[in-house]
Every structure is written in structure tokens, then in C-alpha cells.
Structure 1
Amino acid sequence: MPQFDIATYYSQIFWLIVTFGLLYIFVYKFITPKAEEIFNNRQTNIQDNITQADTLTIEVEKLNKYYNEEIDKTNAEIDRLKKEKIDSLESEFLIKKKNLEQDLKNAINQNIEDINLAAKQFRTNKSAAIIKLAVNIIEKIVDTKADMNLLQNIKVK
């Protein structure tokens, strides 16, 4: 095997140094700068993204705070308007309730007066009312016209 031959050690070491030296120079001159540029760009992009994310986070927090303040203001306004409307509706309801109660009392009093007047008229015209009632009863039972004159001739004691 030529690798183990002592006579070729020096040439093998020479070509090893030349090959790896050229490879090192090639990597050092071409690949390392591009890799370093890529890593630097990557680090710069990452740092820019972190800064931008922090800025956006602060902006989102400000917007959330503003949004929550506006919601609180709106809710307070809604509660105030709701309370005002409930109060106005309650006052309108109480006014209408009082008016209805007064109208009901007036109607009841009017009906009592009408009943008393009808009772008074009935008492004064008792015989005529009894005759009319008798005529209606007879007409309902017999299905014929009753003679009112005949009923008026009957004396009620």
C-alpha cells in the first residue's frame, strides 16, 4: 500500500498541506465572508423583528387601553341613558296610573249615581216598571204579544 510507504510520506504531507491550505484559503476568502454576512443579516433581521414586535406590542397595549376606556365610557353612557329612561317611564307610568285610578273612581261614582237614579225612578214608577217587566216575562214565556192594558187594570197591593 502506497500510503504506508515511507518514501512517499513527504510528498503525501506536502500535498496534504497544499490541498488543505488551498481549501482553507478558499473557505476563508469565499465561504466565510458570505456565511458571516448571512449570519449578520440574520441577526440584524431578528433584532429588527424583535424591535418591531416590541413597538407593535406597545401600540396594541395602547389601543387595548383606549378601546377599554371607550367601552367603559360607552357603558357608563348607556347606564345613564337607561336610568334616565327608566325614571321617565316610571314617572309616566305613575301619572297614567293616577289618571286611570281617578277615571275609575269617577266611572264608579257615576255608575253608583246611575244605579241610585234608576232605583229611585223604579220606586216612583214601581207599578209601570212591574207591568213592563211582566209584559217582557210573558212575551218570553208564551212567545206572543202581551196585552199591556189588561195588565195595567190589575191592581198591585
Structure 2
Amino acid sequence: MVKFLLSLSIFFTSAAQAAEKVGMPQLDPTTWFPQVFWLLITFGFLYLIVEKIVFPRLSDSIEQRNDHVSDNIDEANSIKDQAEKKYQEYLSLISNSKREAQNLINVNKQNLQNNFENKKKEIDKKLEEKMKQVSKEIEDFKKSAASKMGSISTEIAKELVKTVSKIDTNNASASSIVEEVSKKYLKGLN
């Protein structure tokens, strides 16, 4: 290995010394034709490789990438449209739900109000019937009280006359006295 490296260094140094003596070969007009020839062959070969192998692969790769990007954009737009539709459905569902809830509240409110009115009418009717019944009972009581009061007053007057004057009176005379007094003072009860 050392021998190889030594021989390689001798080769490069001798080539460098030869180039120093002759000058730069690129500026020597006798070497221009072979340089142009090899330039055309090298770049022509590279051009063919790039055109036939590298460029098609690169264009396919770019085209696939563009297709993939456009597919992703189309899919994103589709998802965006679906999301927008779902959002609109959501808004309409919320709106319908609010409307239905308000209708239910109004119906229930109206039903409660109607039930309240009906119950109030029933209670008023029962109260009126009770008031009529109580008024009738009061009138009956007044009539019976007036007639009972007459008999009681007759008894009291009879006893009072008997106690005060020591005279025994009959029921007819005591009741006539009570009737006269009740006509004068108790006119408002009948």
C-alpha cells in the first residue's frame, strides 16, 4: 500500500511539472478541437441521460405529487362542504327545536290558563250554590227563629206576668201582647 501511494504521488508530481513547462492546455489552440469534441460528447451523453432517465422520473414524481395534492384539496373541499351542510342542518335543527319548545310552552301555558279558568268557574259555581244554600238556611232560620221567638216570648211574657203580678194568664193574651211588641220593634227581621 505504501508503494502504491508513493508511485501515485510521483505520478501526480511529474504531471504537475509537465503542465508547468507547457503552460495551460486550455489556452493552447492545438488542443481546442479535442476539448470541444469531448465537451460535446460528454454533455450530449449527460443530456441524453437527463432527458431519457432523470427528467421522466422527475416529471412523474412531480405529476404524482401534484395529483396527490389536488386529490387532497378536492377531499378537503368535499369535507368542508359536508361540514357546512352539517352546520346548516345543526342550525335548522336548533331553530326547529326552539320553535317547537316555544309552541309547547305556549300550548301548555294556554292549557294551564284554560284549566285555571275552568276550575275558577267550577269553584265560583260551587260557591254560588253554597251561598244560595246558606242564604236559604238563614232565611229558614229567620222564619223558624221568628216563630220560635214568638212562642218563647209568649212563654217568657206569661211567666213574667205570673211572677210580677202573681196572676196566671192564658197563652192567647200573652201571645197578643208579644205580637204587638214584635210588630213595633222587630219589623226588620221579616
Q: TM-score range by the shorter chain?
A: 0.5 to 0.7
**2:84 is equivalent to residue 50 of structure 1:** yes
Indicate the residue corresponding to 2:34 in structure 1.
Answer: none
**2:136 is equivalent to residue 102 of structure 1:** yes
Higher Rg: 2
**2:149 is equivalent to residue 115 of structure 1:** yes
**2:86 is equivalent to residue 86 of structure 1:** no
Query: For residues 21-32 of structure 1, what are the structure 2 equivalents within 5 Å?
Result: 28=62, 32=66
**2:124 is equivalent to residue 124 of structure 1:** no
How much does 1:79 deviate?
2.4
How much does 1:120 deviate?
0.7
How much does 1:54 deviate?
1.1
Indicate the residue corresponding to 1:67 in structure 2.
Answer: 101
Compute the TM-score of the two structures, normalised by the length of structure 2.
0.45
Q: What's the secondary structure of 2:121's corresponding residue? A: helix
Indicate the residue corresponding to 2:14 in structure 1.
Answer: none
Choose 64-73 or 79-88, whichever is displaced more: 64-73
How much does 1:32 deviate?
4.6
Indicate the residue corresponding to 2:71 in structure 1.
Answer: 37
Distance 2:68 2:123 in 1: 79
How much does 1:31 deviate?
5.0
- What root-mean-square deviation, in Å, do the aligned CA atoms of Structure 1 and Structure 2 show? 3.5
Compute the TM-score of the two structures, normalised by the length of structure 1.
0.53
How much does 1:127 deviate?
6.1
Distance 1:99 1:122 in 2: 33
Report % sequence identity: 4
Distance 2:74 2:161 in 1: 125
Distance 2:145 2:79 in 1: 94
How much does 1:94 deviate?
0.9
Please, which runs of 5 or more residues in structure 1 have no aligned partner? 1-17, 132-154
